[in-house]
Amino acid sequence: MGTSGFSWKLEDHPKFPKGKTIGLVVLDGWGEANPDKYNCIHVAETPTMDSLKTGAPDRWRLVRAHGKAVGLPTEDDMGNSEVGHNALGAGRIFAQGAKLVDLALASGKIYEGEGFEYIKECFDAGTLHLIGLLSDGGVHSRLDQLQLLLKGVSERGAKRIRVHVLTDGRDVLDGSSVGFVETLENDLANLRAKGVDAQIASGGGRMYVTMDRYENDWGVVKRGWDAQVLGEAPYKFRNAVEAVKKLREDPKNNDQYLPPFVIVDEGGKAVGPIVDGDAVVTFNFRADRMVMIAKALEYENFDIFDRVRFPKIRYAGMLQYDGELKLPSKYLVSPPEIDRTSGEYLVHNGVRTFACSETVKFGHVTFFWNGNRSGYFNSSLEEYVEIPSDSGITFNVEPKMKALEIAEKARDAILSRKFDQVRVNLPNGDMVGHTGDINATVVACKAADEAVKIILDAIEQVGGIYVVTADHGNAEDMVKRNKSGQPLLDKNGNIQVLTSHTLQPVPIAIGGPGLAPGVRFRKDVPDGGLANVAATVMNLHGFVAPSDYEATLIEVVDN
């Protein structure tokens, strides 16, 4: 805000009392869709979530979780965890990375900032390496942005370009990597025709190479380092289209988990290791899965794995990925300035907060929730607990994940009465939904529902209030559909499994013995979205939300 009259003090709410314990549950990837056999939430036994929906119609509603409601460029953009948790925690809608990069590319401002000036120094004598997710999913990166960047840098003096691709299959259909690599190869061929030495240098599947998050498995980042920086990988190919096609022939491989490969010349030498004097840009805009590679590329003192070589490079992120760590220090586009989040306000107003998830979603209820900041606002009022996730497996193998453990931690935190807000993320619907395994996703949804029950029971015991919602859809629709909603088949007559998120709205339910009988959802916020949840939660803690927050979803009527 920056105005001299600014204060963290929140006004007391005239109608909502203070001192109620609030259990705040985010079901990751839990949207609302028509019931059918590809709606795993519908197929699964979910008595707790069902009872919230049918038990109290005034206390259950849907909220928007995709597109402009969460700061994404268009209504065709599905929701995701970063933008969803940002909106839930910040209470306002910020133009998100995808949109900011679009604007910076369209205006040319991306080439005028400090970040571009910094990497440009290497264009004469060195190579420019671009590392990132190759897809049009719009969650972590977008192909069209990469294409514009390639054009822009080559027009501004980059003479030698190497692209290190990470195949997707998670935010887009599995198998689509081949088409994306073909498109990129075509663009690079056009650049070569104009005299730019441009090639794909390495690749691998995003879940196996480079894009780990929250330090779940550094081996993933190391595999990327070996291929991208050292030019070493178990598979060597002369071109990337052949690499992806060939590696996909093994039924164990899919786009998400493609093993690392490097492109070699006729002498078998890697065409694009990263060496002294080169520039590197990680072109993903989303933070969580770039923080680890950014550390490896930027930190002089780094001992998590043996980098073998630490080349003297100029490195910039598409965005700055961690505002607290200032990582990376150089970036092409300024990230959204998500300030004055509800977590920060509540802590300033004495609200004691507990947050918990397992590793793969831990940063969602902490880092994303707090506007992409790691760490506590006030460690004497907050406690964040991370339950280690299984690593090295795909979550269809263990679809219950750590839901029970998360719920038990939340239960204990609630019953301890040491906290005013107990916030969790239950990852199952999302993480298992991304595997495309429909049966496992049904098991996952049941496990998440059971976890909700444990938390609601604890809230019941302490006379508290619950808020159960989700960050975006995923498990409620596991099939790609045509415009009229019919499942699409592939050339073998099998359904096209949807591993990605969806455009669906998500539920929000409130209740518990601490909620006064007259509290209900307002009828005059029909387009409410995730950003309306923060003001709602502030009210339930007994405060009026700041005036620039999106409207509260609740009201009190006299019975």
Residue 317, SS3? Answer: strand
Secondary structure tally for the chain: helices H, strands E = 16, 17
Contact residues toward ligand 3PG (CB under 6 A) are 28-29, 80-81, 139-140, 170-171, 289, 430, 434
Q: How far apart are CA 12 and CA 52, in angstroms?
A: 29
Q: How far apart are CA 322 and CA 288, in angstroms?
A: 9
| Structure tokens, 406 | 């998360």
- E-strand spans in 409-538? 421-426, 465-470, 506-511, 519-521
Q: Which amino acid is at 442?
A: V
Cβ at position 336, least distance to ligand 3PG in Å: 16
- Rounded to whole angstroms, the maximal C-alpha distance in the chain is 82
The answer to whether 372 and 337 have CB atoms below 8 angstroms apart is no
Q: How far apart are CA 472 and CA 320, in angstroms?
A: 24
With contacts defined by CB under 5 A, name the span among 27-35, 184-192, 395-403, 441-449 that binds Mn ion: 27-35
Q: Which is nearer to Mn ion, 81 or 154 (CB)?
A: 81
With contacts defined by CB under 5 A, name the span among 78-86, 122-130, 270-278, 443-451 that binds Mn ion: 78-86
Q: What DSSP element (H or E) covers 358? A: strand 353-358
Cβ at position 465, least distance to ligand 3PG in Å: 26
Cβ at position 65, least distance to Mn ion in Å: 9
DSSP-derived pairing of the beta strands 465-470 and 506-511: antiparallel
Q: Which does 295 bind (CB under 5 to 8 A by kind): ligand 3PG, Mn ion, none?
A: none
Cβ at position 251, least distance to ligand 3PG in Å: 23
Pick the closest to residue 166 from 43, 80, 284, 70 (CA basis).
284
Q: How far apart are CA 343 and CA 362, in angstroms?
A: 15
The answer to whether 285 and 101 have CB atoms below 8 angstroms apart is yes
Q: Which amino acid is at 211?
A: M
Asked if 168 touches Mn ion (CB under 5 A), the answer is no
- E-strand spans in 218-352? 235-237, 261-263, 279-282, 314-319, 331-333
Q: Which does 289 bind (CB under 5 to 8 A by kind): ligand 3PG, Mn ion, none?
A: ligand 3PG
Q: How far apart are CA 181 and CA 164, in angstroms?
A: 11
Asked if 471 touches Mn ion (CB under 5 A), the answer is yes
Q: Which amino acid is at 332?
A: L
Q: Which does 170 bind (CB under 5 to 8 A by kind): ligand 3PG, Mn ion, none?
A: ligand 3PG
Distances from the Cα of 400 to the Cα of 5, 22, 80, 435, 446, angstroms:
49, 25, 21, 14, 8
The interface with Mn ion within residues 430-469 (CB under 5 A) comprises 430
Q: How far apart are CA 270 and CA 338, in angstroms?
A: 41
Cβ at position 545, least distance to Mn ion in Å: 24
Pick the closest to residue 257 from 201, 208, 218 (CA basis).
208
Q: Which residue from 81, 96, 127, 502 is in contact with Mn ion, where contact means CB under 5 A? A: 81
Q: Which of 4, 81, 141, 374 is catalytic?
A: 81
The answer to whether 404 and 450 have CB atoms below 8 angstroms apart is yes
With contacts defined by CB under 5 A, name the span among 176-184, 266-274, 428-436, 546-554 that binds Mn ion: 428-436
Asked if 86 touches Mn ion (CB under 5 A), the answer is no
Asked if 82 touches Mn ion (CB under 5 A), the answer is no
Q: Which is nearer to ligand 3PG, 424 or 554 (CB)?
A: 424
Cβ at position 95, least distance to ligand 3PG in Å: 18
Q: Which is nearer to ligand 3PG, 353 or 425 (CB)?
A: 425
Q: Which is nearer to ligand 3PG, 403 or 545 (CB)?
A: 403
Q: Which does 449 bind (CB under 5 to 8 A by kind): Mn ion, ligand 3PG, none?
A: none
Q: Which is nearer to ligand 3PG, 127 or 141 (CB)?
A: 141
Residue of closest CB approach to ligand 3PG: 81
Q: Which is nearer to ligand 3PG, 226 or 430 (CB)?
A: 430
Q: Which is nearer to ligand 3PG, 372 or 539 (CB)?
A: 372
Cβ at position 289, least distance to ligand 3PG in Å: 6
Q: Which residue from 16, 23, 28, 333 is in contact with Mn ion, where contact means CB under 5 A? A: 28
The yes-or-no answer on residue 81 being catalytic is yes
Site residues, Mn ion (CB under 5 A): 28, 81, 430, 471
- Residues classed as catalytic: 81
